[in-house]
Amino acid sequence: MEHTDFLVDVYSKLTRFCAFRDRCSFEVAQKLHTFHLPASGEKKILKQLQEEGFFDDNRFARMFVRGKFHANKWGKHRIMQELRARKIDEEIISLSLQEIPPDEYETMLRDLIRKKMAEIKSEKSVQNREKIINFAFRKGFEPDLILRIMDETG
């Protein structure tokens, strides 16, 4: 196979990869790297894909935030950590997290805490309180918010 044909083939595979779901530049670059192209070829393909709108870090981050918050019920810390792992710029992360309405954020945490309380034995204990706090913390919610809502719900 000629080098140009190979580049076209790689480009075609990456367009399908990007079309499957929203991707960030880091994910596309990682996938592209698996084809073992020279750096110049990788840059050319990445640039073309980005110019044609196949991936956009801003769009990816906004969709990621909405999806992980609504579907997975993740808190801001967990979402932030995952976006940083995908090498998303801090400014983009900050702007994307504004997609979560503050009242909806607290309501989500309050509902998670109530549900977890119902799952755990009905008797109140320090150990049960710690389990609930740890659960909410692992979901990515802020410790001060968790404690405030825990105190409110009793």
45 and 11, same structural domain? Answer: yes
Residue 153 has pLDDT above 90, yes or no: no
Q: What is the DSSP string of 28-68?
A: HHHHHHTT---HHHHHHHHHHHHHTTS--HHHHHHHHHHHH
Average pLDDT rounded to a whole number, residues 10-30: 92
Domain that holds residue 90: 57-97
Q: Mind listing the pLDDT tens digit for each residue in 29-42?
A: 999 999 988 888 88
Q: How much of the chain, in percent, has pLDDT values that exceed 90?
A: 72
Total number of domains constituting the chain:
3
Q: Mind listing the pLDDT tens digit for each residue in 115-151?
A: 998 888 766 677 888 999 999 999 999 999 999 999 8
Residue 1 has pLDDT above 50, yes or no: no
143 and 128, same structural domain? Answer: yes
Residue 63 has pLDDT above 50, yes or no: yes
